[in-house]
């Protein structure tokens, strides 16, 4: 009974196969007559003659245009389409007389049609709708209708005219024409549609910028001149006190430095005077009496003016800003006397030295008033304008950054040229003004290196002011003759209430009234033997100052405010600064963002700022020096740290174990704890801060190192730091590495934070401009000079960092600083806009999620490579800005490579995607196991990684390519919505494409070499795994009877059916698919029971 059942099952299987042929291949029936021969119906005569009957099927030989394997199942030969078969010619007449492609006596047509396309001559357009015409001519056939496709979609035309709607970004238009002889012609056009994104108008952006500057520079001081000029020339209605406060600080600074530098604002840089003149003139301040000094006086010496690289340019701008007369030089030396003619000649003679567009533009700004009357100037200006026009980029901007674009616009407007409408400065439909505005932040300010930048905001804003003044027919930006200068001889309004010392007291006590008035306490030389105490309520916010004699012995003076005490010892003298109004313990806000950021900048790399405890102005924002130490006591502040801020730059105060050690250090300021109090000893007054820092040592990345070298070889001073191997810490930048090494070795250095990022001024006594106008510090990594802030360069294992002193703007170092603007792609990570194949190396020491973003400026790159190290932290890629036209991106992590083709766009899902995050889900293997047949099990989970978004699947308009190197022989699948789906692996990519055509979600795999490739247009979690037999599942003994012993014709029957099945399938399948099926049948045959 069991035997009969098995036999019936086998015959039932054959019946199903016969039904297949009958239903799907009409004209075919199966008959079991005559020893197993299968007979076709009339009208579709196809006969298969079986081989001789044999009891051993494996020895059967079939002459069927195939090669026989040892399994008894035939593999197709190299010519699967041969029409000759053993027995009857099954394909007779199928292709009679057509194989050669010719007819008797007629020459074969081999000439392809000619395609002519009119209207696709532009590679970039700003309108989405496009119309063009296509005509096709041929030597034989007439009226050939071409096939026109837009991004794979067929477009129908009317009388040869075609209309298409372009996608944002790259579009591919393909025209194909085929004649009657199957000769084909093709033309392909790549059209980029740049959608015009509405931006703020120049006037709207200017208003935003002026407000932004006013808010971010709440207390302008010496050095804020470009911000002041932007506001004043932009007619921003600020409170008069805003400008007055700035002027008071400038006066104090001018008094201090003029005294120190013998009547100059800087020992070598005349640009200091020029900048301050421009800032004060824009406000209407008399520059001939600033704290008692005439700022034009030092500019009378041409040797001083010519010192810095741009000295002549800046001086001419400053002197012409209000038609200022140039004073006579002391001593009457005519050779050294500055004249306007000498300044103009100097600028013209140094044309070849003006290497950058910004420098050339500044020269034009200064020469603009002389264009009409000086032929040499006119010639210089004209050729420079032509050079600007040739240098302009297609987006309207100028190389290499926003600073160049801003300065060119100021130059053009100074010459009366409209940067928005002049045809010489419109490229690809984009004007120079457009080029500037593309770097604007709609919230206010200008972006540089990926974020709003103070210097970029100043220059970009006064460029907008210059444009605004042009279109409104106002004076040029630097022609300030429309500004009314205030008479400096008029008495100034009183700034504070004078509070004299009580008469006749040797130990006077002065209590400051709490009435919101500023107070000043006059101290005379006759008070030098007194002991004076001043008490200020902690709640008082008003200023309290003392007016003491300069360079004269002072009395013992102790000022108390809350828990802070400032004590000037008896006999001390003021040696520099403004002694007429020394602030004492003026409270500053401890939550001020600018102050917090200043303090954060000086925190050692092994700590972080917790909070600011106290902040005071001592002496004002600028430095007042003493000949001996003054003591600041902060009661109950033991364990705190301190810093002083001078001219906007923070400086940490070194802390010692005792007063003796601090005094022995030789420093101008030091700190130590005494009991429960914090003591600061200093010989200068400025702003002081007490803060709390906590330990926050970035972990050392095990086994990873970088090297650091600091040298002054170009000025013959050797090495400051010889080549040193340093352990790499998490988040290390070029800046944190330098500070850590210099601090550990006790090497002095100075820097400022004026532009929003640290700028190195000096190391071990040698600083910017100390050895010429082009001298200063530059850094390189692995031999290349990045050209951007050291705090933005994140280090990786093996990097070689060099800080080098240059005497000539890097040319003596062989430095090739990249041109182009800097584009931020992530935290501390920037790429150059001119780099067409940028490489982004994710730091190997990240401990938290790391976010990258691709901006529109990178859409024209050839390929962006992202290298991700083996880290646990997640890496995210934000593609929001390029969602409609993603540039080509290659992501590498270990043995996995993901490639997004250029022009890919999002169809759905989050634009911020995870990049190959390891999936640690313990249930993943169980999910895969549930899809396997009984007897198989998952033996290894090789790779499991997250792509896309954990909450939803991300869908693209075309497949991405995921390569798993060395994964040949493994199985693959994906997890979506907690459901595992195996991915079919095809023999070729073409098979996968054919089988997935028309599907919204396409996912398939194929093998190439030793690697597995996954093509998918939706990304989620992907898995590769290995399966094997489950030894825990017992194998049942076979009870199937041996058909060979029961039926003498079983071998012929089975082989005959197999051959007919294969022949029929061969007619419908490709060679590759057919070969795959043959291999699977061979495996089935090998595993079948044999007797």
Phi, psi of 270 (to 5 degrees): -70, -15
Angle formed at CA 309 by CA 300 and CA 717, multiple of 5 degrees: 115
DSSP characters over 390-422: HH--TTS--SS-HHHHHHHHHHHHHTT--TTT-
pLDDT for residue 679 is more than 90? yes
Please, what are the domains in the chain? Answer: 2-60+1036-1087 (no CATH), 114-193 (2.60.40.10), 497-695 (no CATH), 700-817 (2.170.130.30), 835-1029 (2.60.220)
Least confident of 257-266, 475-484, 1053-1062: 1053-1062
- The whole-number pLDDT of residue 415 equals 97
What is the number of other CB atoms lying within 10 angstroms of the CB of residue 390?
Answer: 8
Confidence of residue 819 (pLDDT cuts 50, 70, 90): low
Token digits of residue 152 = 């794979």
* pLDDT higher at 323 or 194: 323
| Percent with pLDDT over 90 in the chain | 43
**Rounded Cα–Cα distance for residues 40 and 38 (Å):** 7
Confidence of residue 268 (pLDDT cuts 50, 70, 90): confident
Token digits of residue 182 = 């199957």
Alpha carbon separation from 756 to 406, 752, 759, 788 (Å, rounded): 19, 9, 9, 12
pLDDT for residue 325 is more than 70? yes
Strand intervals (E) in 265-369: none
- The whole-number pLDDT of residue 515 equals 84
Phi, psi of 935 (to 5 degrees): 100, -15
- The whole-number pLDDT of residue 41 equals 37
- The whole-number pLDDT of residue 55 equals 37
Token digits of residue 317 = 């701008």
| Rounded mean pLDDT, 339-361 | 88
Pairing relationship of beta strands 124-125 and 184-193 according to DSSP bridges: parallel
154 has which bridge partners? 149
Confidence of residue 1086 (pLDDT cuts 50, 70, 90): very low
| Rounded mean pLDDT, 1050-1068 | 52
Return all residues near 543 (Cβ < 8 A) that are at least 6 apart: 496, 518, 519, 583, 586, 617
pLDDT for residue 380 is more than 90? yes
Confidence of residue 542 (pLDDT cuts 50, 70, 90): confident
What is the number of other CB atoms lying within 10 angstroms of the CB of residue 942?
Answer: 16
| Rounded mean pLDDT, 247-257 | 91
**Rounded Cα–Cα distance for residues 636 and 673 (Å):** 10
- The whole-number pLDDT of residue 101 equals 42
- The whole-number pLDDT of residue 82 equals 38
Least confident of 204-218, 845-859, 904-918: 845-859
Confidence of residue 12 (pLDDT cuts 50, 70, 90): low
Pairing relationship of beta strands 800-806 and 544-547 according to DSSP bridges: unpaired
- Yes or no: say if 935 and 1033 are a contact pair by the CB < 8 Å rule: yes
Question: Can you give the three-state secondary structure of 148-173, one letter per residue?
Answer: EEECCEEECCECCEEEEECCCEEEEE
- The whole-number pLDDT of residue 1060 equals 54
What is the number of other CB atoms lying within 10 angstroms of the CB of residue 765?
Answer: 13
pLDDT for residue 33 is more than 70? no
Instruction: Pick from 147-151, 315-319, 735-739 the range whose average pLDDT is largest.
Output: 315-319
Return all residues near 888 (Cβ < 8 A) that are at least 6 apart: 861, 862, 863, 864, 899, 900, 901, 902
Residue in this structure with the two tokens 């092994």, named with its chain if needed: 606
Closest Cα to residue 518, out of 539, 494, 497?
497
pLDDT for residue 1013 is more than 90? yes
| Rounded mean pLDDT, 753-779 | 80
Least confident of 119-123, 558-562, 899-903, 905-909: 119-123
Return all residues near 18 (Cβ < 8 A) that are at least 6 apart: 29, 30
Arithmetic mean of pLDDT over the chain: 81
Kindly report whether the peptide bond that precedes residue 510 is cis, defined as omega within 30 degrees of 0.
no
Confidence of residue 923 (pLDDT cuts 50, 70, 90): confident
| Rounded mean pLDDT, 477-506 | 78
Confidence of residue 946 (pLDDT cuts 50, 70, 90): confident
- Yes or no: say if 610 and 694 are a contact pair by the CB < 8 Å rule: yes
Confidence of residue 556 (pLDDT cuts 50, 70, 90): very high
DSSP state of 633: E
Least confident of 133-142, 227-236, 705-714: 133-142
pLDDT for residue 821 is more than 70? no
**What is the per-residue pLDDT across 651-664, written as a single tens digit (0 to 9) for each?**
889 999 999 999 99
Confidence of residue 767 (pLDDT cuts 50, 70, 90): confident
What is the number of other CB atoms lying within 10 angstroms of the CB of residue 40?
Answer: 20
Least confident of 5-19, 147-161, 305-319: 5-19
pLDDT for residue 147 is more than 80? yes
Confidence of residue 1076 (pLDDT cuts 50, 70, 90): low
| Global pTM exceeds 0.85 | no
- Yes or no: say if 1057 and 17 are a contact pair by the CB < 8 Å rule: yes
**Rounded Cα–Cα distance for residues 934 and 1047 (Å):** 32
Confidence of residue 326 (pLDDT cuts 50, 70, 90): very high
- Yes or no: say if 564 and 616 are a contact pair by the CB < 8 Å rule: yes
- The whole-number pLDDT of residue 152 equals 83
3-state secondary structure of 557: strand
Least confident of 90-104, 459-473, 616-630: 90-104
**Rounded Cα–Cα distance for residues 434 and 432 (Å):** 5
Region label for 711, one of left (φ > 0), alpha (ψ between -120 and 50) or beta (otherwise): beta
pLDDT for residue 231 is more than 70? yes
Confidence of residue 53 (pLDDT cuts 50, 70, 90): very low
- Yes or no: say if 640 and 692 are a contact pair by the CB < 8 Å rule: yes
pLDDT for residue 10 is more than 80? no
| Percent with pLDDT over 70 in the chain | 79
**What is the per-residue pLDDT across 73-82, written as a single tens digit (0 to 9) for each?**
334 443 434 3
Confidence of residue 69 (pLDDT cuts 50, 70, 90): very low
- The whole-number pLDDT of residue 774 equals 73
**What is the per-residue pLDDT across 408-442, written as a single tens digit (0 to 9) for each?**
999 999 999 999 999 999 999 999 999 999 899 88
| Rounded mean pLDDT, 295-324 | 91
pLDDT for residue 379 is more than 80? yes
**Rounded Cα–Cα distance for residues 279 and 246 (Å):** 10
- The whole-number pLDDT of residue 732 equals 85
Strands of the sheet with 766-767, listed across from one edge: 749-752, 759-763, 766-767
- The whole-number pLDDT of residue 514 equals 85
Residue in this structure with the two tokens 């004492």, named with its chain if needed: 584
| Rounded mean pLDDT, 8-14 | 52
- The whole-number pLDDT of residue 70 equals 38
* pLDDT higher at 789 or 587: 587
- Yes or no: say if 670 and 644 are a contact pair by the CB < 8 Å rule: no
* pLDDT higher at 956 or 98: 956
| Rounded mean pLDDT, 207-232 | 94
């Amino acid at each position: 009974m069991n035997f009969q059942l098995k036999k019936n099952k086998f015959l039932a299987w054959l019946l199903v196969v016969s039904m297949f042929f009958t239903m799907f291949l009409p004209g075919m029936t199966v008959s079991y007559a005559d020893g197993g021969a299968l007979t076709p119906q009339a009208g579709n005569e196809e006969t298969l003659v079986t081989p001789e009957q044999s009891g051993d099927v494996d020895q059967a030989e079939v002459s069927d245009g195939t090669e026989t394997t040892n399994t008894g199942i035939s593999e197709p030969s190299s010519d699967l389409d041969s029409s000759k078969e053993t027995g009857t010619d099954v394909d007779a007449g199928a292709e009679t007389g057509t194989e050669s492609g010719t007819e008797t006596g007629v020459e074969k047509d081999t000439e392809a049609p000619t395609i002519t396309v009119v209207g696709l001559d532009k590679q970039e357009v700003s309108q989405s709708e496009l119309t063009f015409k296509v005509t096709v001519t041929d030597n034989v056939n007439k009226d050939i209708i071409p096939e026109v496709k837009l991004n794979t979609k067929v477009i129908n035309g009317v009388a040869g005219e075609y209309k298409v709607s372009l996608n944002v970004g790259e579009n591919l238009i393909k025209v194909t024409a085929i004649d009657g002889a199957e000769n084909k012609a093709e033309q392909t056009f790549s059209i980029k549609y740049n959608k015009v994104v509405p931006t703020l108008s120049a006037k709207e952006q200017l208003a935003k910028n002026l407000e932004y500057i006013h808010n971010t520079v709440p207390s302008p001081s010496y050095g804020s001149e470009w911000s002041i000029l932007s506001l004043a020339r932009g007619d921003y209605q600020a409170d008069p006190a805003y400008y007055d406060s700035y002027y008071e600080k400038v006066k104090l600074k001018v008094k201090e430095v003029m005294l120190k530098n013998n009547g100059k604002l800087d020992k070598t840089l005349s640009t200091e005077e020029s900048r301050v003149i421009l800032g004060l003139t824009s406000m209407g301040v008399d520059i001939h009496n600033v704290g008692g000094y005439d700022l034009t006086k030092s500019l009378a010496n041409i040797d001083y003016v010519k010192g810095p690289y741009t000295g002549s340019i800046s001086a001419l701008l400053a002197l012409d800003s209000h038609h200022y007369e140039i004073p006579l030089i002391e001593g009457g030396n005519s050779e050294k006397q500055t004249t306007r003619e000498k300044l103009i000649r100097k600028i013209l003679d140094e044309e070849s030295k003006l290497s950058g567009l910004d420098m050339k533009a500044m020269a034009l700004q200064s020469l603009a008033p002389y264009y009409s009357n000086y032929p040499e100037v006119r010639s210089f200006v004209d050729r420079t304008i032509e050079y600007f026009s040739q240098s302009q980029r297609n987006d309207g901007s100028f190389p290499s950054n926003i600073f160049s674009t801003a300065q060119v616009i100021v130059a053009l407007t100074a010459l009366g040229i409209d940067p928005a409408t002049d045809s010489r400065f419109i490229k690809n439909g984009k004007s120079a003004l457009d080029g500037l505005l593309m770097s604007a932040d709609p919230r206010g300010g200008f972006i540089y290196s990926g974020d709003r930048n103070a210097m970029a905001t100043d220059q970009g804003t006064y460029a907008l002011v210059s444009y605004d003044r042009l279109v409104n027919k106002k004076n040029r930006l630097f022609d300030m003759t429309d500004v009314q200068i205030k008479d400096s001889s008029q008495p100034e309004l009183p700034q504070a209430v004078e509070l004299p010392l009580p008469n006749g007291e040797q130990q006077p006590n002065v209590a400051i009234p709490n009435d919101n008035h500023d107070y000043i306490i006059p101290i005379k030389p006759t008070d030098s033997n007194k002991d004076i105490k001043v008490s200020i309520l902690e709640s008082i916010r008003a200023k309290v100052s003392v007016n003491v004699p300069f360079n004269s012995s002072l009395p013992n003076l102790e000022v108390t405010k809350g828990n802070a005490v400032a004590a000037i010892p008896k006999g001390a003298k003021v040696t520099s600064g403004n002694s007429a109004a020394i602030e004492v313990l003026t409270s500053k806000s401890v939550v001020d963002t600018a102050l917090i950021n200043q303090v954060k900048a000086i925190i050692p790399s092994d700590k972080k700022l917790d909070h600011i405890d106290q902040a005071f102005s001592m002496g004002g924002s600028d430095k007042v020096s003493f000949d001996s130490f003054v003591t600041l006591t902060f009661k109950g502040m033991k364990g705190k740290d301190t810093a002083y801020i001078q001219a906007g730059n923070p400086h940490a105060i070194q802390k010692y174990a005792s007063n003796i050690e601090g005094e022995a250090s030789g420093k101008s300021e030091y700190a130590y704890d005494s009991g429960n109090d914090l003591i600061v000893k200093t010989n200068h007054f400025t702003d002081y801060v007490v803060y709390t820092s906590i330990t926050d040592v970035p972990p050392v990345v095990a086994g990873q190192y970088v090297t650091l070298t600091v040298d002054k070889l170009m000025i013959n001073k050797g090495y400051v730091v010889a080549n040193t191997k340093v352990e790499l810490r998490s988040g290390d930048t070029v800046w944190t590495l330098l500070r850590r090494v210099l601090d550990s070795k006790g090497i002095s250095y100075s820097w400022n934070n004026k532009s929003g990022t640290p700028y190195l001024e000096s190391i071990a006594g040698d600083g910017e401009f100390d050895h010429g106008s082009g001298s200063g510090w530059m850094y390189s990594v692995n031999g290349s000079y990045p050209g951007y802030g050291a705090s933005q360069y994140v280090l990786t294992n093996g990097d070689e960092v060099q800080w080098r002193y240059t005497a000539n703007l890097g040319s003596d170092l062989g430095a090739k600083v990249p041109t182009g603007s800097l584009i931020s792609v992530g935290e501390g990570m920037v790429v150059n806009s001119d780099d067409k194949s940028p490489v982004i190396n994710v730091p190997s020491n990240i401990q938290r999620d790391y976010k990258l973003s691709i901006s529109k400026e990178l859409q024209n790159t050839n390929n962006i490579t992202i290298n991700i190290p083996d880290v646990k932290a997640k890496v995210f890629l934000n593609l929001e800005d390029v969602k409609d036209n993603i540039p080509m991106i290659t992501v590498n992590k270990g043995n996995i490579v993901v490639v997004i083709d250029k022009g890919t766009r999002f169809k759905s899902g989050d634009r911020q995607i995870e990049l190959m995050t390891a999936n640690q889900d313990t249930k993943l293997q169980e999910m895969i196991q549930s899809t396997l047949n009984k007897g198989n099990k998952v033996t290894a989970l090789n790779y499991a990684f997250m792509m896309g978004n954990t909450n939803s699947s991300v869908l693209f308009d075309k497949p991405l390519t995921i390569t798993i190197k060395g994964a040949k022989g493994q199985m693959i699948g994906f997890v979506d919505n907690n459901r595992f789906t195996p991915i079919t692996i095809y023999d070729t990519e073409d098979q996968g494409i054919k089988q997935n055509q028309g599907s919204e979600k396409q996912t398939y795999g194929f093998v190439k070499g030793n690697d597995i490739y996954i093509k998918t247009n939706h990304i989620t979690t992907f898995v590769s795994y290995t399966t094997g037999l489950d030894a825990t599942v017992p194998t049942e003994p076979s009870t199937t009877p041996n058909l060979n012993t029961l039926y003498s014709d079983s071998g012929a029957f089975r082989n005959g059916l197999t051959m007919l099945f294969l022949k029929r399938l061969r007619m419908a399948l490709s060679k590759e698919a057919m070969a795959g099926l043959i291999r699977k049948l061979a495996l089935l045959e090998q595993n079948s029971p044999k007797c």
